[in-house]
Amino acid sequence: MTKWLLLCAAIAFEVTATLSLRAALDHAAWYALVAVGYLASFVALSLLLRTGMGIGVAYGIWGASGVALTAVLATVLFGDALTATMGLGIALVIGGVLCVELGAQAAQAAQAAQAAQAAQAREARPEGPTP
């Protein structure tokens, strides 16, 4: 659960910083939130990696979610265009990240099964010197 909370925090901080960057074009005071947001995002991402989530999965979800949320929120907040082609691109990015996540889960399951087999093999060996 902590992993996903840290990932959500990293995404939220990154999206906030990116949207603040756009707002800073008109009001320079927003640059403070840009700096704080990106710093907080990278701190949360580094804490996330310490929990054991793979970098490929963490970065993929973080990056794809950031792109999708920033595009949608920039449309709402700043009136940026969001075309059907852009929506399709966002869907493809999210689909790609989903494939990475599913692949990572399959790899972890395979590693766990391999470790279990190795442990069973060690337990099955007789103790003492081999003839």
Environment class of 40 (CB within 10 Å of its CB; exposed 0-12, middle 13-18, buried 19+) = middle
Q: Look at residue 38 in the predicted model and tell me its pLDDT.
A: 98
Give the residue ranges of the chain where pLDDT is below 50.
none
Cut 0.85: pTM above it: no
Q: Look at residue 130 in the predicted model and tell me its pLDDT.
A: 59
Q: Look at residue 36 in the predicted model and tell me its pLDDT.
A: 98
